[in-house]
Structure 1
Amino acid sequence: MPLTNEELSLIKRELKREPTQVEIAMFEAQWSEHCSYKSSRKHLRKLAMEAPWVVKGGDAAVVELGPVYVAFRIESHNHPSAVDPYNGAATGVGGIVRDILSSGAKPIALLDDLIFGDLREYRTKWHVRGVVKGISDYGNRIGVPTVGGETWFDPDFNRNPMVSAACIGVCPKDKLINGRPRPGDLIIIAGNYTGKDGLLGSSFASKNLEEGVEEEYAAIQVPDPVMEKLLIDSILEMRDKKLLVFVKDLGGGGLATAISEVAASFDLGAEVFLDKLHLREPMDAWEIMVSESQERMMLVVKPENLERVEEILKKYDVPYSVIGKFTDSKNYVAYFKGEKVADVPAKFLAEGPELDRPYERPQWHLKLEKFPKIPEVELKNAIEKVLCSPNVASKRWIYEQYDHEVQIRTVVKPGEGDSAVLRLLEAEPLGIAATTDSNPRYTYLDPLHGAADVFLEAYRNVVASGGRPLAAVDQIDAGNPEKPDRFWFFVRMVDGLAWVEREVRVPIVGGKVSFYNEDEVTGKQIKPTVMITMIGKVEDVRKAKRVRAEEGDKLVIVGETFPELGGSEFLWAVFGKVQGKPPIPRPSAEMRNAEKILEVITLDGVTGIHDIGVGGLAVAAAEMARGVGVTLKLDEVPGKWEKPYQALFSETGARYLIAVKEEALDEVLKRTGGKVIGEFGGGTFKVNYGSKEVEVPEFEELLEKGFERFMG
């Protein structure tokens, strides 16, 4: 994405001269949407970002959790994954792991949030296989388990999948890398040799995908998980010996971004010698400056610690170069073969322009508000279609390719619970619940309420596993910000998040924005999306809850059901429609019911807990009933619904299901105000309403095979 004429004029005025080729490349990389947030910065300030337990920002958010710090972050790698699914997804994992490592935290878990196109399309299957394999191979080889995620399918994403990876790390309180670089501190680049792969990848991520994207392969980085593992081990050892002042991943923008952002943050300048960097191939100065070769990190080291740092890097066979130092000049100065090739104010480069772009709701969007007229619903057929929908059915095919046991921390594993639950300390029961959630239909139909709904779904998932929600990070994906009718979706999603995080007192402490998620072939943007990764504190991981039930357990529902079917899986799977308003977010009800669940979650006799989300009561009950069966009594479901399909498939929030033993039932009902709506057992899925009964004997097979039947 070339610099605009206005940006070029601004640069010339600041420098009082024509910029050099290297400087042009630096500004092109750093002033891209991917690095500078020039269109989104104004609106992202609406987010709270702070709480007493939030320790720092930077490449990863860090929060205090008992005796340790927890670092976490989510970031997309959409464009690279569309062009080269395997390498795009793998390098996305590598980048997010290094973001966590930069704080001094040991990476302990990965999660992914994936949105693909129509599974009947060959291109979609190619995306799925490549992305899953890329995530699996990289995570498995660096020894970081992939413990959870979210997967969606929608025809809007046939050409443009959304691929985000989240990582969580843990750090002892006395080992956080959070120093202040000072003039004279050395700049070391450690890790892989720099090459021409990933040249101006940040610029590639800041434009629309076009026909013939094969030419963009040069913008896609090449993964090297072996080097990543060596970086992890060497940096953690240097952390333990307190040899590092500051660490930053060399991600989007390469040296241009990493060095300028650190210099600007601490009101410093930098002096860099590009020809000192270890290279994979002959390169020009501008290529060295903006290469995004993977598995590289910038280490800031005091001169007196250089020898000890070098010993550790050599011990792990990690290539490195001392390429310069920070200065008090406030300018970023670069030399190449004895010639000065760049001299720009670091803060001017790092911060870039802030744009105040117009936005307006597109007229065509208004017609989506009205809920469509639907014909008479044959309940058994509707249940079958919803249960076997790829958005609902088991993703075992995906998560069984991931190693979720490595590091022996995973207490609640993929497919077992609403959240992954991880042990933080070897000898103590303290842990975290972690989840990631999205719903592109909700944020498309109503970006404000839809974003809030996604956030609250993550909130419930953490609670249902036994965690008290603590903090969240977001990944926001939208179309071209230069078009007001596309930018409107982004602004409204941010507004929804800013509102709901304050209502439930769970701050969003970091995140990432991805624009230009559309292509010139179809002329369409993807459905704008919000991906939320949330963590919660689990006091005792031994008491974490799973999505399960046992023969004879009573089924208790907590929360009211309203006829909210806009944007529902029922409407899509049965009638092929994406229409209506998504459920109304009810933060107060969410908080009240969450407290009720957390009060009973450790009681003896509570077998399992599950939140009600996509697919409604039908899906939640069926998922709990695997292996035992369930009978639902719809007439007992509390709320203001009128028709059986509304009770079964409404996606109203603030609702949970509890599987309870008879001896604990009275206590659970007393503490939660819940209501018994069924019983587990019988081996099939039965629904009673009035004098009628519907039975779906093969409900488990539908759940298990609904996705796999497409993948073969």
Structure 2
Amino acid sequence: MESNESLPTVETAKKLGLLPEEYDRIQEILGRKPNFTELSIFSVMWSEHCSYKNSIVWLKTLPKDSPRMLAKAGEENAGLVDLGGGLGCAFKIESHNHPSALEPYQGAATGVGGINRDIFTMGARPIAQLNSLRFGNIDLAKTKWLVKGVVKGIGDYGNAFGIPTVGGEVQFDDCYNVNPLVNAFSAGILKVGTQASAISYGVGNGVFIVGSATGKDGIGGASFASEDITAKSSEKLPAVQVGDPFQEKLLLEASLEIIEAGCVIGIQDMGAAGIICSTSEMSAKGEHGMIIDLSKVPTRQANMKPFEILLSESQERMLIVVEKGREAEAKKIFDKWDLNCEQIGTVTDTKRLEFYQDGVLVADVPADDLVLGGGAPVYHREYKEPAYFQEFKKFDINSVQDIPVAELPKAFDFLMNHPNIASKKWVAEQYDSSIGRANRNTNAPSDAGVVKVHGSDKSIVITVDCNSRYVNADPEEGCAMAVAEAARNIVCSGGLPVAITNCLNFGNPYVPEVYWQFVGAIKGMKKACEAFETPVTGGNVSFYNQSSDEGPVFPTPTIGMLGILEKPENKMTLDFKAEGDLVYLVGESVNDIASSEFLYSYRKVKASPAPHFDLPTEQLVQKGILGLIEGKLIQSAHDVSDGGVLVTLAESAFPRGLGFDVKSDAGIRQDAMWFGEAQSRVIVSVSPAKQAAFEAHLAGLGIKSTQLGTVKGTDMVVDGQVVSSLAKASGSYFTALETALTK
């Protein structure tokens, strides 16, 4: 064992992010005081980012079972779902928030690299990416710097790696001024039965590190992601990793080849906490141990210390366990791709991890005690309803004067120019969306990404959704709405929702009011996922999105949802198709403007409850829309979400330059009718020849619908008044974001 002189104290443990009682527990586990390397190991493995110690008790309540599930939720690098026809889809979403706050380009780029590695370590070839991004006030110079850096980082890495980015979302709010959120989603395809597992077993099997060399970038990244952002956070810039997409492309091909060769027992991406995370999680899962020689790890810098090698989060690396006797076969594959493939250890039956450097034992720790589900601590945190919650509920729509008809053009123009509503074209154009020839939305926009699975008639339908303003107003209902909107987007694209992954972005879990938001969001997710029969396949928890000056970000439980489109002809788009088609609102107009962009930004009323939402109604509406699509009874479908009905109509009008002439409902306020964001509503267009069948279908299910008007001309006409020409509105909508970022 390395020298025990000046062993670390409880003060050292606290500096590494451990609690005093956790330091005591480590001594109990080891039967002695830990040395600095061992204490560093526990500090990263017991960080929230790796252990989920403050969240796992609630995560366990989420629904995880389905006949389609091919891997246990949260136990592999990514979720895996059966698509039918012998095909499976691996998909996952993860955050890279803290790194992106300090160094937006590399922070975002390595987030893309990491999530794609999670997919191909399953044996799946990535075919599509999404991202969900949150930034602060767009007028701030810092926000503009962050947006440009994050978007360029995502684009440069994803484009070079060769995977299309087919959709996503971008939201701006002052609550993200210090802490931006960067959530990256990836999905890949494999043949059922060929998937690899993140496991280690078999005494004498070789342990190899493959891919890039290990450097000092990213050391302590997991711990850094488990603390608040402060004025001193910039001093932790070395905790931000540096990515190389071209190296990742080589690693993708080599990994898929070695998995197909059948000589791999287990494989795991080296993401958070690097070598120590991969060795401990794989060993604990397989109930085995490892002896590792850190001297054999290829390094970028000379004289790296044991803890630096173990904790480095250098990118584009994997840990693989190779069947004994097939080591040369493995090395040959990685030599072909010009990648490192070094045996650094062997599998043992001790259930312990023994790390040596230059012949000296530098750490000896039990694998199971390091990991989630093993000996890692689990906490039941205190939670308390924040005072603002009841204040928000006191909002009365009658306290806000309804918008006069003459003001509709002004309010609509405001929303067309608002960065939360305006087109994210400036962002999307920096991403390659067509590489791989699989994106089915290139010239036919849908509410969700639709990506063809080559060699099959099937397409996967994917989306990321969360309106954090709703979740802040009511965590339980707001998170249920995020699940419902994701499902609605998939349904409006012609797909059937099948499963979700999540990225749970919250403030400091030790703050009772923040933890109350987290608990509420989990409850909302649970009830909505049960209603839509979309189990949770895994995901990511990102706490500590909080600063001493600004407080926590809005609770942002981003939902990544997977759906299946069995037949190409059932793909539905959002654009109006022909002059004279009838425009209907499926669902019900209600007098509700709560938490709408209109109320929040135009009327500047920040305190209101979540929008109107009824889960059984949502289920019924989605069932009705799917039936309309399968029956070929509608021309277009576009869900009503941010901005309300008038924004939805405009977005359906823009692609083909087809305007509309619509009328409001009697008894519904103008602001609620056109700008309210009540849920469970979809705008559809219907050919006059199919009007009777359309109405009969919805009536048979008991679904309310209203004919608003017709597709007509090149203006947007409401109750006889031209609210805007298509040319003016689209001119604002498609340029507002770029204008705001460059002024």
Name the TM-score, length of structure 2 as normaliser. 0.92
Q: Distance in 1 between matches of 2:354 and 2:612?
A: 53
Q: 1:48 aligns with which of 45, 58, 63?
A: 63
State whether residues 608 and 659 of structure 1, in contact with CA within 8 Å, keep that contact through their aligned partners in structure 2.
Answer: yes
Question: Can you list the C-alpha shifts for 1:653-689, whole angstroms capped at 9, x where unaligned?
Answer: 221111122222222222124332111121111111x
- Aligned residue type for 2:278: A
- Aligned residue type for 2:661: T
Please report the RMSD computed on the Cα atoms of aligned residues, expressed in angstroms.
1.5
Question: Can you list the C-alpha shifts for 1:465-496, whole angstroms capped at 9, x where unaligned?
Answer: 00000001111111111111221111111111
Quote the residue 1:358 is aligned against: 382
State whether residues 412 and 544 of structure 1, in contact with CA within 8 Å, keep that contact through their aligned partners in structure 2.
Answer: no
1:62 to 2:86 alignment: no
Secondary structure of the equivalent of 1:304? coil
State whether residues 565 and 582 of structure 1, in contact with CA within 8 Å, keep that contact through their aligned partners in structure 2.
Answer: no
State whether residues 453 and 583 of structure 1, in contact with CA within 8 Å, keep that contact through their aligned partners in structure 2.
Answer: no
1:44 Cα deviation after fit: 0.5
1:578 Cα deviation after fit: 2.3
Question: Can you list the C-alpha shifts for 1:116-153, whole angstroms capped at 9, x where unaligned?
Answer: 11111111111110000000000000111101101101
1:701 Cα deviation after fit: 2.1
Quote the residue 1:704 is aligned against: 734
Q: Distance in 2 between matches of 1:573 and 1:379?
A: 15
Secondary structure of the equivalent of 2:490? helix
1:657 to 2:683 alignment: yes
With over 3 angstroms needed to count, the CA separation of the structure-2 counterparts of 1:364 and 1:612, relative to structure 1, is closer
Question: Can you list the C-alpha shifts for 1:300-320, whole angstroms capped at 9, x where unaligned?
Answer: 210122111111100000112
Deviates more, 1:366-375 or 1:50-59: 366-375
1:603 Cα deviation after fit: 4.5
1:672 to 2:698 alignment: yes
Q: Distance in 2 between matches of 1:596 and 1:28?
A: 51
Secondary structure of the equivalent of 1:156? helix
- Aligned residue type for 2:609: K
Quote the residue 1:148 is aligned against: 167
Name the TM-score, length of structure 1 as normaliser. 0.96
Question: 1:453-602 alignment to 2 at 5 Å?
Answer: 453-522=481-550, 524-550=551-577, 551-602=579-630
- Aligned residue type for 1:459: A
Q: Which runs of 4+ in 1 moved over 4 A?
A: 602-605
User: Mind listing any 5+ residue stretches in structure 1 that lack a counterpart?
Assistant: none
Secondary structure of the equivalent of 2:119? helix
Question: Can you list the C-alpha shifts for 1:513-558, whole angstroms capped at 9, x where unaligned?
Answer: 0001011233x11111110010111012343111101322211221
State whether residues 444 and 527 of structure 1, in contact with CA within 8 Å, keep that contact through their aligned partners in structure 2.
Answer: yes
1:156 Cα deviation after fit: 1.0
State whether residues 123 and 194 of structure 2, in contact with CA within 8 Å, keep that contact through their aligned partners in structure 1.
Answer: yes
Question: 1:398-413 alignment to 2 at 5 Å?
Answer: 398-413=427-442
Q: Distance in 1 between matches of 2:343 and 2:391?
A: 60
With over 3 angstroms needed to count, the CA separation of the structure-2 counterparts of 1:308 and 1:504, relative to structure 1, is same
Quote the residue 1:85 is aligned against: 104
Question: Can you list the C-alpha shifts for 1:370-406, whole angstroms capped at 9, x where unaligned?
Answer: 2262234232222222222111111100001110111
Secondary structure of the equivalent of 1:152? strand
Question: Can you list the C-alpha shifts for 1:420-441, whole angstroms capped at 9, x where unaligned?
Answer: 1011133x32111111111110
Q: Distance in 1 between matches of 2:185 and 2:679?
A: 24
- Aligned residue type for 2:400: I
State whether residues 633 and 694 of structure 2, in contact with CA within 8 Å, keep that contact through their aligned partners in structure 1.
Answer: no
Question: Can you list the C-alpha shifts for 1:321-358, whole angstroms capped at 9, x where unaligned?
Answer: 11112211111111111111111111111131001111
Q: Distance in 1 between matches of 2:634 and 2:441?
A: 16
Q: Distance in 1 between matches of 2:38 and 2:619?
A: 51
Quote the residue 1:389 is aligned against: 418
With over 3 angstroms needed to count, the CA separation of the structure-2 counterparts of 1:584 and 1:503, relative to structure 1, is farther
1:106 to 2:125 alignment: yes
Quote the residue 1:95 is aligned against: 114
1:85 Cα deviation after fit: 0.4
State whether residues 423 and 735 of structure 2, in contact with CA within 8 Å, keep that contact through their aligned partners in structure 1.
Answer: yes
Quote the residue 1:235 is aligned against: 255
With over 3 angstroms needed to count, the CA separation of the structure-2 counterparts of 1:179 and 1:440, relative to structure 1, is closer
Secondary structure of the equivalent of 1:459? helix
Quote the residue 1:281 is aligned against: 301
Question: Can you list the C-alpha shifts for 1:169-201, whole angstroms capped at 9, x where unaligned?
Answer: 000113211385322222111111100000010
Q: Distance in 2 between matches of 1:159 and 1:610?
A: 34
Q: 2:635 aligns with which of 593, 604, 607?
A: 607
Q: Distance in 1 between matches of 2:263 and 2:697?
A: 52
Q: 2:673 aligns with which of 647, 653, 656?
A: 647
State whether residues 469 and 536 of structure 1, in contact with CA within 8 Å, keep that contact through their aligned partners in structure 2.
Answer: yes
Q: Distance in 2 between matches of 1:711 and 1:515?
A: 28
Q: 1:620 aligns with which of 648, 657, 663?
A: 648
State whether residues 444 and 573 of structure 2, in contact with CA within 8 Å, keep that contact through their aligned partners in structure 1.
Answer: no
1:584 Cα deviation after fit: 3.8
Identical positions, percent: 36
1:300 to 2:321 alignment: yes
Q: 1:34 aligns with which of 25, 46, 49?
A: 49
Deviates more, 1:356-365 or 1:33-42: 356-365
Quote the residue 2:211 is aligned against: 191
Q: Distance in 1 between matches of 2:536 and 2:153?
A: 28
- Aligned residue type for 1:82: A
Quote the residue 2:409 is aligned against: 380
Secondary structure of the equivalent of 2:530? helix
Q: Distance in 2 between matches of 1:405 and 1:498?
A: 35
Deviates more, 1:153-162 or 1:503-512: 503-512
- Aligned residue type for 1:271: I
Q: Distance in 2 between matches of 1:59 and 1:601?
A: 35
State whether residues 74 and 96 of structure 1, in contact with CA within 8 Å, keep that contact through their aligned partners in structure 2.
Answer: yes
- Aligned residue type for 1:530: P
User: Mind listing any 5+ residue stretches in structure 2 that lack a counterpart?
Assistant: 1-15, 700-704
Q: Distance in 1 between matches of 2:219 and 2:315?
A: 11
- Aligned residue type for 1:190: V
State whether residues 441 and 578 of structure 1, in contact with CA within 8 Å, keep that contact through their aligned partners in structure 2.
Answer: no
Count of aligned residue pairs for this structure pair: 703
Secondary structure of the equivalent of 1:596? helix
State whether residues 142 and 225 of structure 1, in contact with CA within 8 Å, keep that contact through their aligned partners in structure 2.
Answer: yes
Quote the residue 2:344 is aligned against: 323
Secondary structure of the equivalent of 2:183? strand
1:268 Cα deviation after fit: 1.4
- Aligned residue type for 2:132: D
Secondary structure of the equivalent of 1:132? helix
Question: Can you list the C-alpha shifts for 1:243-291, whole angstroms capped at 9, x where unaligned?
Answer: 2221111011111111111111121111111111000012001110111
Q: Distance in 1 between matches of 2:144 and 2:23?
A: 42
- Aligned residue type for 1:484: P
Q: Distance in 1 between matches of 2:250 and 2:65?
A: 33
Secondary structure of the equivalent of 2:217? coil
Deviates more, 1:303-312 or 1:98-107: 303-312
Quote the residue 1:17 is aligned against: 32
1:577 Cα deviation after fit: 2.5
Q: 1:684 aligns with which of 704, 715, 720?
A: 715
With over 3 angstroms needed to count, the CA separation of the structure-2 counterparts of 1:542 and 1:309, relative to structure 1, is farther
